[in-house]
Structure 1
Amino acid sequence: MNEKINTFLNSGLLDKYLLGETTSAEAEMVESFIIRYPEIENTYNMMQHNLEVVAKVNAVEAPKNILNNILDELDETPVIKLNKTKSRKKWYAFSVAASIAALIFAGSSTYYYNQNQKLKSDTVVVDAEIDDLRNDIAQNNAMLDKVMRQLLKLNNPETEKYIIKGNERAKDLKTVAYINPKEKTSMIDIVSLPELPDEQCYQIWAELQGKMVNLGILDKADRQLRSIPYMEDALALSITIETKGANAIASTNKAVAEISLH
């Protein structure tokens, strides 16, 4: 390979020509070298082939309607005869442009597909959050309704309030009973309960015609206004300390608080 050919190949003009980045003067010179020197023509053909392979590997099949539209346009376009070198350059430029367009189309399609999938995912999350919010609202409305009903009962002029305090055995014990004899309802609000051993519990009783009736267990964890059974003509309320599971009969000797209702 003579020095002139070697100098030309090392100049980078052939690479620029393949990429369509040469000026008109540079393009004319490259084309003349390709025609005059077989070594340069072979190198050009090899480089063109390699570039086409790369373009095909990265290309994405275009929609069929695009190909049909291009063919229709070609049928309507007058054919212009070009010399061998010019035709080769134009066709190569077209193939590179088509490959680049295909890559852009593929990238855009992938981008919009990913955006669409993300939007669907976000929509599912939002729908789930809306369902959770609706459930929370429903629960809050139910709770609010319960509280309002309780307030109506407490604010009823017929409702009588009884504060039950502990004796020496349970000085920190304090509960409040609300009894409405007209509507026959009873509620109790646990304010404070001293700690007990695990095997013991507090239990509330109603004194009725000489006997004690079980109204339920008082639990420190249940510190809220709650209903208890209403006992007609009850004379008193009493709180005792009982052994868990053995509380059918009140242990009057273990009473820690009591109050008369009449």
Structure 2
Amino acid sequence: MNEKITTFLNSDLLDKYLMGTTTVAETEHVETYISKYTEVQNAYNTLQNNLEIVAKSNAIEAPKHILNNVLNEFNDAPVIALSKRARYKKWYKLSVAASVAAITFAASTYLFYNQNQKLSQENQVVVDEIFDLRSDIEMNNKKLDAVMEQFKRLNDPETYKYIMKGNERARNLKTVAYINPKEKTSMIDVVSLPQLPEEKCYQIWADLQGRMVSLGILSETDRQLKRIPFTENARGLNITIEPKGGNTIASLENTVAEISLQ
């Protein structure tokens, strides 16, 4: 079905034509389309049949005594009997009007239904966006709580700050360790780490009475406060260069930074 036919069928010209309210030009236009396009002719026939069905279903037979009462009122005045054709035309127009009203109601109902469906979908999108927003707010609140907790720990009078600077092996290395013996917490802030070959990494150790205990691997991506295991009674901290992935035994000959905690 081409666009021209679709536009015509979506207009109200067929309805107006059936009701006899079209202008001369509109009547000619409609009849041309009915005779020229099968789709229009089928739509016209369907609409006409539907209108007749509606008219018949809504038809009410007038009581027989009505005519006698009317005749008595006119004192036997001449009455012009309506021809069968005239009566049919009158009822046909009424049936057309009733059918058009029914079709208009159905079209309006369908339109409202579609609008309601669209509104429901839009409401669901808004609900989903609100849910995502609440999730983002909750996540941001958790991050804020974590930052506040870190800030609280850093400003605790029992928290000690230790600055670790690199030796000649890594002159630009700088990290800051925060240790709170009372709360038994340890954090480290990686300020800068010189770049290493891909097969090497930096590893931090705690000196526990001569035994080196690994506290994890340091990376340039850790440029923020990072928790490290708290080691009670540790005498110092060491940073060494180890094979990629870390080592189980500290290579003290490759030490690049160290501090005493006592």
- TM-score, normalised by the number of residues in structure 1: 0.70
Structure 2 CA distance, aligned partners of 1:197 and 1:172? 16
Cα shift readout 1:19-63 (whole Å, capped 9, x = no counterpart)? 43389xxxxxxxxxxxxxxxxxxxxxxxxx98962414787x98x
Cross-structure match for 1:237: 237
How many percent identity over aligned positions? 58
Structure 2 CA distance, aligned partners of 1:17 and 1:139? 65
Cross-structure match for 2:178: 178
Paired residues of 1:55 and 1:96 also in contact (CA < 8 A): no
Paired residues of 2:189 and 2:222 also in contact (CA < 8 A): no
Cross-structure match for 2:13: none
Cross-structure match for 1:120: 120
Structure 1 CA distance, aligned partners of 2:17 and 2:140? 74
Paired residues of 1:56 and 1:99 also in contact (CA < 8 A): no
Extract unaligned runs of 5+ from structure 1.
1-15, 24-48
2:103 matched to 1:103? yes
Compared with structure 1, are the counterparts of its residues 22 and 183 closer, same or farther at alpha carbon in structure 2 (3 Å cutoff)? closer
Paired residues of 2:217 and 2:246 also in contact (CA < 8 A): no
**Which secondary structure state, in structure 1, belongs to the residue aligned with residue 201 of structure 2?**
strand
Letter in 1 for 2:232: E
Cross-structure match for 2:47: 55
Structure 2 CA distance, aligned partners of 1:77 and 1:119? 50
Structure 2 CA distance, aligned partners of 1:22 and 1:122? 40
Higher mean alpha-carbon deviation, 118-127 vs 247-256, is at 118-127
Cross-structure match for 2:216: 216
Match runs of 1:79-98 below 5 Å: 82-98=82-98
Structure 2 CA distance, aligned partners of 1:213 and 1:84? 113
Higher mean alpha-carbon deviation, 82-91 vs 222-231, is at 82-91
CA RMSD across the alignment? 3.4
Cross-structure match for 2:200: 200
Structure 1 CA distance, aligned partners of 2:146 and 2:87? 87
Structure 1 CA distance, aligned partners of 2:180 and 2:90? 100
Paired residues of 2:19 and 2:97 also in contact (CA < 8 A): no
Paired residues of 2:159 and 2:179 also in contact (CA < 8 A): yes
Paired residues of 1:179 and 1:185 also in contact (CA < 8 A): yes
User: How far does residue 211 in structure 1 lie from its aligned partner after superposition?
Assistant: 2.2
Compared with structure 1, are the counterparts of its residues 75 and 142 closer, same or farther at alpha carbon in structure 2 (3 Å cutoff)? farther
**Which secondary structure state, in structure 1, belongs to the residue aligned with residue 190 of structure 2?**
strand
Structure 2 CA distance, aligned partners of 1:259 and 1:51? 93
Cα shift readout 1:170-190 (whole Å, capped 9, x = no counterpart)? 233221110112222111112
Compared with structure 1, are the counterparts of its residues 233 and 56 closer, same or farther at alpha carbon in structure 2 (3 Å cutoff)? same
Paired residues of 1:240 and 1:251 also in contact (CA < 8 A): yes
Paired residues in the alignment total: 215
Structure 1 CA distance, aligned partners of 2:102 and 2:257? 88
Structure 2 CA distance, aligned partners of 1:109 and 1:136? 40
Cross-structure match for 2:144: 144
Paired residues of 1:204 and 1:217 also in contact (CA < 8 A): yes
Letter in 2 for 1:118: K
User: How far does residue 123 in structure 1 lie from its aligned partner after superposition?
Assistant: 2.5
Structure 2 CA distance, aligned partners of 1:85 and 1:76? 18
